[in-house]
Amino acid sequence: MNKIIECQNLGYTYDNGIKTPVLSALNLEINSAESLAIIGQSGCGKSTLLNLLGGIDKPTTGKVIINNSSLSQLSEEEITNLRAQHLGFVYQFHHLLKNFSALYNVAMPLLIRGDNTQIALKKSNKLLSDIGLQNRLNHRPAELSGGQRQRVAIARALINNPNCLLADEPTGNLDARNAQEILGLIMEFNQQKKTALILVTHDIKIAKKVDRFLTLKNGILV
């Protein structure tokens, strides 16, 4: 299997006049097609870790390697391109563009990078149809249910065929039925498309559904 993401001796400290250590000497790797859950109490640094793994934030110490490229050796533009090529992100809140339809929201990553508009929309149409939203293509976020909005967010994260999906409490804002459906959808892509999955959650029941889970406690994974 190919190693998609690796971090070595990763550390992160908040510095707002007072230094507050969050992560310390943390090591982790995930391979293609693997699913991993990271659990822990609120405020323990789970989302911070995900942002570091995705190249959104920079570590205080250590390094993150994505697809054999160390982020510390890349420019901001190179990191952005690497992230767009290899990673997909899903959050607790969908962060959809309110003035655009589901079709355009999903196609947006392709349109931003300059892909042909008709080809991008065709890919978006197929992906939304695959997840049961073929009758909601032209609906804006306000016209969709919470579960439907999160499905659109997942489709947007997968439109680039990423090597790894980073999901930060993707079911945390949903009722039990929708949460189960969204989790099933994410796991389906992990298994069928061989997309690696790193899932941050506080729910041990969700964590037990993936290949393995680790607990983030006192800045380290155990």
Q: Is the dihedral of CA 90, 94, 99, 100 positive or negative?
A: positive
Q: What is the pLDDT of residue 65?
A: 92
Indicate the DSSP class of residue 81: H
Long-range contacts of 77-82 (CB under 8 A, 24+ apart): 79/55, 82/55
Q: What is the pLDDT of residue 130?
A: 85
Find the length of the chain: 222
| pLDDT tens figures, 1-46 | 688 899 999 998 887 778 888 888 889 999 888 999 998 877 778 8
DSSP letters, 56-104, are SS--SEEEEEETTEEGGGS-HHHHHHHHHHHEEEEESS----TTS-HHH
Where does 3-94+145-221 sit in CATH, by number? 3.40.50.300
Predicted TM-score of the model (pTM): 0.87
Indicate the DSSP class of residue 17: S
For the chain, give the percent of residues with pLDDT over 90.
27
User: At 52, which amino acid appears?
Assistant: L
| pLDDT tens figures, 99-143 | 999 999 999 989 888 889 999 999 999 989 988 888 999 999 999
Domain segments of the chain: what residues? 3-94+145-221
